[in-house]
Structure 1
Amino acid sequence: MGDGMLRMGARAGLLVLSIFAGSAHAQTFETTTVIHPEIEWRVQNPFRFFVDPTDTEMHRNTFLSLSDEEHDEPVLSAERELSRQHQDGWASIILGRTCWDNKRNLHICPGGVDYINPKSHTIIAELKGIPDAAFVNCEWLTAPKGRNAPRGQALLRPCNEPVELEIPYPDGARITVEIGGREVAATDARVKDLFIVGMGDSFASGEGNPDLPVRFSRERSVNYGVGFGTDLVGYPARIGQWREIGDERFVQENARWLDQACHRSLYSHQLRAALQLSLEDPHRAVTFVGFACSGAEITSGLFLRYKGNEWVPNPPRLSQISAAAEAQCGRNRPRRVQVPEAYHMNGRVPELRGLELLKCDEEYARKIDLLMVSIGGNDVGFSRLVANAVLHDKSMLKWLGGWLGQIEEAAAAKDHLGTLWMRYAALARALRNILHIPPDESDRIILTAYPGLALLDDGAAVCPSGRAGMDVVKDFRLDERKVREGHVLAEQLNELMRKAAREHGWSFVESHRKKFLGRGICAGWSDVAFSMADDLRLPRKINGVWQPYNPADYRPYASRQRWFRTPNDAFMTGNFHVPATLMQKVLQMHTSWFQLVLASTYSGSFHPTAEGHAAMADAVVEKARAVLAKYDPDRRDPLMSFEDVRLNP
């Protein structure tokens, strides 16, 4: 034991002499090699929204494993890799371990940690460039900077072992390493923590991609009674010991979401973009708050309280703008303010008359580094256009209306574009005056375009008429003429969004739209499929046999050609049903066939898949890098090279 300590001490002495070889005394040792130790460090849990650092590490390791070619689309490449590893999707293992309290509708971390305004970050530091490092002890010392800085740390570890250090935020600390009482390396560690806000509608929330999808029985099937002039028998049945559709045990097997009311999930392109940004710089952390809600509009959603897309006992308490202001304040209290007449644009946005919003005083409000927003589709009634395109004129569902929303022709929807322009103007004023985004930094606001729903590879032709991907309900049938009319309006909407972004100085992201060509709602096979993932048909049990495949084998997050959920996909992924008591008492309905309609519509049909969201996230990340580089004078390049990141594991 004593001899070992002597040998370690001798090595330490030789290393110190090697490091300080410039001295006259050290030069007498002709065999000594000059070495230059360096401290490398990274944030332990850069995506602070994940409570457990191992969840962030899973994504980080996936990112580091990508090839150079895959690195061009890091989020999409990572999504495909993770989907191969997790049959129910990677989010299923993280759900419940985040800084979102869905009972209180607040971003709160377990244990009382201040999520919005961190006091410090844990980093992992290593000493590089020391030969035989396992046989030498290093003493790590931190000297926190800033007023009222906490006392520093002193840790003694073998030089080959990484250490965890607590670095105060925002001032950072000086880190030094000593061997044998002599300083051998030093560096300043200061974490750059970005505050990123996400808001918007279903294309921002991740609709169609529950964190925990519904799972189906291998043997059991279910009947939905009689509807649409036929017997609705042989449908896939959920697992579980339930007796009737909608009973308590049936509801217990519902799909699970990060936010149940808003159908907001970890697959949201906004969250994925924020996560990716946290992985690309080892000295960066991201504090992300997301408020997007399926069905939201600029008025009912962003400005006015909107209770979401699913019945829950604790729907959102605030509008998204007020919720973002509340988050900005952290542990301080925002105040309620009445917005001026300028917000309702002299009555042209009448919904905003007499509006009150929460606002955090600027001295307490955390500065927003990026605000990601996807909004406008519901304002022009795009879902009503989709309903018009998939329901024929004599459809019973079209006659009923309501649950699919009002059904409009393209000409009627076009009239809403002028109103949307004024709503964007009102939104710009709120983001500037309520959320304190300076006019000369308006490009921190990133508006994301909607991808095309039904475009074929050439970008001109649209999906043909037919029931491919829609045989779950007999009344569903795509009409090519109406789809084309909807596409024309979608292009007009995109042009208006581009102009609005230019008008208000926002960043506009639309490069992902080209990647969706050939990946629309009809991409796949409806007869003989080469893979289950690309089979557009719904499995049904016919004469005791499942055709074309057993629903228990369905993988909602498998890589596939289509990047939009069909009604069949929605049934097999979200499988939304309402409790039987609600059907009878509130809706005053007793028909099972209506549950079938809900399961194939309210479950996220006509919304991007997880791969689609990943492609959108890649486009947002590309724009965000440039914006962040613009406001960070210390950053040498909008994107740290892949090799730089890989060399800092």
Structure 2
Amino acid sequence: MPLIEEIEVPDVPEHVADYVWHVSRREDDFDFDDIRPVERRTIKGVTRMVGEPWKLKLAIPGPGTYDIRIRQRSDSGRTVFERETTLDLRDFLVVALGDSYSSGQGNPDIPGAPDHDNAWYDVFLPTLGFVVSLSGGMFTAPLAYRFGKEALDAAKDMLAEKWPTIARQQKATIATDPDPVWQEPAAYRSLKCGTALGAGSLENPELGRLVTFLNFARTGSEVFDGLLGPRTSDGLPIDDWIGNMGQVEEMAETLTRAGRTEIDALVISIGVNDLGFATRLTSLVADDSIALLGGVGDDTKNREETLKRAEHLLDSGKIRGALDSLRQALEELPLSIHQVYLLEYPAAIFDRADGKPHPGCEIFGSAFDLDIDQRDAELTRHLGLRLNEVIREAANDFGWVHVGNIDAGFRGHGYCMGEDSFYRTASQSLVLQGDTEGTMHPNGAGHAVVGEQVAQALEQHMVAAARPPEVVRTEIEAWRVAGVDEQWKPVRFGQDYDMPPVVLASLQTFAGSDPSLARVREADTRGFQVRVEEEQAGEPHHNAEEVGFAVLRPGLLRDRQTGEIVGEAGSLSVDQPSADLWRTLTFDERITGDVVVVMQVMSANGHQPVHVRLRDVGEAADGRRQLRFKMEEWRTADGQHFEERIGYLVLKVGEHTLRGAEIFASLVDGVDESWRRSVVFNARPGGTPVVLTQCQTFRGADPVVVRQKNVERDHFDVRLQEDRQGGDHVGESVGFIVVEAA
């Protein structure tokens, strides 16, 4: 099935006639070229654009590294905007094994209906909006139901009538028409489980991240009866629907047939049935009854027997031994499993709002002593916590990732907490799926808690570990060159690059007082040319200045100490058809907080002096981070300029360690045409740094550049400079970036 990737270009100025696209994949000969015309219609004197010509939907062959280029062309066929990017598209394979907690028991993909008129439901909302926040964004738990009063009343009446039968470990069922829909009915498997929610929340095609999720979990599974072999009942296999093979074998066979030999993440929930938890819980209820046992029920004795049998399994090492057998079986598979994740269980089953165990309710509360009392609830939590200890120790010893904080997330949301409960009640299970099998399992809110923890673990151990080096690599050079005047001066890089880097330059001195700035051209993989460019109203000669440079590879910038993405460097080609045309540049949304932007004209196609002006830096729009920019000529020119190549650096405010340099970004407000003395920053190691400056605001409309002088280890002086016709510019916010000089 082809993957669909949508690429969006936000700006469509009136003079743009069409978009020219080129997309290619490096791994093969996939190559796509297309021209998308911009159509406009005029109705009653109003001209509007028809459709959304800035969007391209393209079927691509699969994951890989894609080079993407987009050009805007004018009516004459001239390029007015050009931008290139690389998309590394990765498909992560996440596989789930385990018991009912991983299968989604109690949460069918589509619920059944007990009768044809559907009066059992007031509302069925597949996405009611239970939102869970993650470090990388938000996701919605896609399972929430609002139950009709008639439905729950009828279900409770049936449970009350059948309660003695249920207490004997038999089942209560009702007919449904239509039946509930499951991904696999025989396994009570749905895509509403927490593992599916967590894996799905990580998919982000815009970041090149796809997720394939396969779930083999089956309700009631144990390590040997379910994972390493089929589930059994009275010693006989009951998984004939899948050839009576265990989940591990089914997984290996399925992936081998599909040609997938690598699993990025194998997520497992197992152990609760090996402990016989459901049996222990039922025993706490059924063995209380005189009528059911034909003898005298004894709560205390019952608890002692239940605790004794459970702790024998825990203390004897049988459960740990079963997990070790699972580990060995996985290691012997003809598959490469990058990481295994083992989930803990919620132990807060009968918690109330205070986070402490309380007596049961509904089918776990009875006037005939068929109940979960206070001590039963405390025992249930105790056994759950003991099981979680075994799971955590096994994960640590095996080198697996232990997915914790699930029990903590369920605290205060026990079975009897009504709308605040994270568990499926017996009445709800009857209404949703026609039986009581879903009782005691996490509901939609509970699975959202599981999903959040799964997502965080996968983000840390799968996604971050798999980021290709070329996506986040950065190399930066910084140095100063003296003796630069109005003549073009060649400059060589300290190394050769595999693609033209971004070159940024600022005057470090104030030897000449005429309005001027550093101009760059012919930047390639080996070097560039630089000169001091004045406004043409003055004398052509300019006194020699010292120029500071920073050279960066295009791409994202990651702090080597914190791992945080703190910046983005790149280039684009645009023209300036009119003085009042502003363009939008969108940068990576993972660059959070205040930013400083430096944009440098890196070519000299137009004969008029020109620089870049900024406004609305960092402003968010539709969840994206962006800025607006234009090429600005001095007032002696007409404001129209030929296409130029512009390099840019977006950097988060603060101090960062990059590969090649220490770098610091900050802002100083209220800078006007008077010298602002001693802008202070932390002293840089290694001598005098390079300081790059640029105006970040557009409070005054007259053309302006930033000048600086007295650049020392820990300070510099700064001012704005208009052309000779100006001289009274309002205060602007100036961003500065300090780079340790090599």
The alignment's TM-score, normalised by the length of structure 2, stands at 0.50
SS in 1 for 2:5: strand
The equivalent of 1:427 in structure 2 is 326
The 5-angstrom pairing of residues 310-389 of structure 1 reads 314=241, 318-332=245-259, 365-389=260-284
The more displaced of 466-475 and 279-288 is 466-475
* CA–CA separation in structure 2 for the residues paired with 1:512 and 1:646: 30
8 Å contact from structure 2 (residues 225, 231) kept in 1? yes
User: Identity of paired residues, percent?
Assistant: 24
Within the candidate set 482, 496, 504, 2:398 is matched to 504
Matches within 5 A, 1:520-599: 520-523=414-417, 534=418, 560-576=419-435
Q: Contact 1:264/1:294 (CA < 8 Å) preserved in 2?
A: yes
- Whose radius of gyration is greater, 1 or 2? 2
**Secondary structure at 2:189's aligned position in 1?**
coil
Q: 2:414 aligns to what SS in structure 1?
A: coil
Query: Which one of 182, 188, 201 corresponds to residue 263 of structure 1?
Result: 188
Shift of the 472–152 alpha-carbon distance from structure 1 to 2, 3 Å rule, reads farther
* Selected match of 2:313 from 367, 391, 416: 416
Counterpart for residue 8 of structure 2: 126
Secondary structure at 2:430 match in 1: helix
Change (3 A) 1:172 1:122: farther
Amino acid at match of 2:404: E
Deviation (angstroms), 1:315? 5.0
Q: 1:276 aligns with which of 183, 201, 223?
A: 201
Q: Secondary structure at the match of 2:93?
A: strand
Distance across 2 between alignment mates of 1:131 and 1:374:
54
Alpha-carbon distance change, 316 to 471 in structure 1, aligned in 2, over 3 angstroms: farther
Which residues of structure 2 form unaligned runs of 5+?
Answer: 39-51, 120-149, 167-171, 296-301, 473-557, 566-588, 593-619, 627-742
Question: Whose strand fraction is larger, Structure 1's or Structure 2's?
Answer: 2
1:366 alignment partner AA: T
Pairwise mapping of residues 35-50 of structure 1 onto structure 2 (< 5 A)? none
Q: Deviations over 1:403-424 (max 9, x none)?
A: xxx9971210222221111111
Q: Is the 8 A contact 1:201 1:294 kept in 2?
A: yes
Q: Which runs of 5+ in 1 are unaligned?
A: 1-112, 114-119, 233-237, 239-244, 333-364, 401-405, 524-533, 535-559, 577-599
* Aligned residue among 459, 463, 466 for 1:625: 459
Shift of 1:473: 11
Partners of 1:368 and 1:298 in 2: how far apart?
Answer: 20
Q: Distance in 1 between matches of 2:270 and 2:350?
A: 20
Query: Shift of the alpha carbon at 1:160?
Result: 4.4
Shift of 1:161: 2.3
Q: Among residues 67, 78, 83, which one is paired with 1:185 in the alignment?
A: 83
* Gap change, CA 1:153 and 1:504, over 3 Å in 2: same
Distance across 2 between alignment mates of 1:300 and 1:321: 11
Q: Kindly provide the amino acid, as one letter, of the partner of residue 502 in structure 1.
A: N
Query: What letter matches 2:68 in structure 1?
Result: I
**What is the 5 A alignment of 1:17-416?**
113=1, 121-132=3-14, 135-147=16-28, 149-158=29-38, 160-178=53-71, 179=73, 180=77, 182=79, 184-216=82-114, 218=119, 250-279=175-204, 282-306=207-231, 314=241, 318-332=245-259, 365-394=260-289, 409-416=306-313
Distance 1:202 1:642 in 2: 40
Deviations along 1:553-583, one digit per CA (max 9) or x if unpaired, are xxxxxxx20111222332233222xxxxxxx
Maintained 8 Å contact 1:467/1:476? no
Contact persistence 1:228–1:475 (CA under 8 A) = no
Deviation at 1:458, TM superposition (A): 4.6
Is the Cα contact below 8 Å between 1:421 and 1:500 reproduced in 2?
yes
Determine which structure has the larger helix proportion and give its number: 1
- Partners of 1:471 and 1:568 within 8 A in 2: no
Distance verdict in 2 for CA 1:225–1:151, change over 3 Å? closer
SS at match of 1:372: strand
Contact 2:252–2:335, Cα closer than 8 Å, also in 1: no
Question: Quick check: 1:390–1:476 contact (8 Å CA) kept in 2?
Answer: yes
- Quote the RMSD (CA, aligned, Å): 3.9
Q: Counterpart of 2:624 in structure 1: which amino acid?
A: L
Q: For residue 230 of structure 1, report the CA deviation from its aligned partner.
A: 9.7
Cα distance in 1 for partners of 2:159, 2:449 equals 40
- 1:423-444 CA-to-partner distances (Å, cap 9, x unmatched) read 1111112222316346xx5xx2
Amino acid across the alignment from 2:428: D
1:123 counterpart letter in structure 2 = E
Q: How many residue pairs were aligned? A: 412
Offset, 1:265: 1.3
- Shift, 1:157, TM fit: 3.9
Q: Which residue of 2 aligns with 1:515?
A: 409
Answer yes or no: is the 8 Å Cα contact 1:200–1:291 preserved in 2.
yes
CA distance in 2 between counterparts of 1:231 and 1:371 reads 39
Contact 2:231 2:239 in 1 (8 A): no
Q: Which amino acid aligns with 1:646?
A: G
Question: Of the two structures, which has the highest relative contact order with CA contacts closer than 8 Å and spacing of 6 or more?
Answer: 1
Shift in Å, 1:274: 1.0
Equivalent pair of 1:448/1:508 in contact (CA under 8 Å): yes
> Aligned with 1:140: secondary structure?
strand
Structure 1 residues 187, 374: closer, same or farther in 2, change over 3 A? same
Measure, in 2, the Cα distance between the counterparts of 1:565 and 1:142: 49
Mean Cα deviation higher: 272-281 or 380-389: 272-281
Partners of 1:215 and 1:399 in 2: how far apart? Answer: 38
Task: Give me the whole-angstrom Cα distance separating, in 1, the residues matched to 2:254 and 2:458.
Answer: 21
Partners of 1:450 and 1:513 within 8 A in 2: yes
Contact 1:391-1:476 within 8 A present in 2 as well: yes
Letter in 2 for 1:569: Q
Match of 1:436 among 323, 335, 341: 335
**1:278/1:286 contact within 8 Å kept:** yes
- Determine if contact 1:307/1:316 at 8 Å carries over to the other structure: no
Matches of 1:430 and 1:310 in 2, distance apart? 20
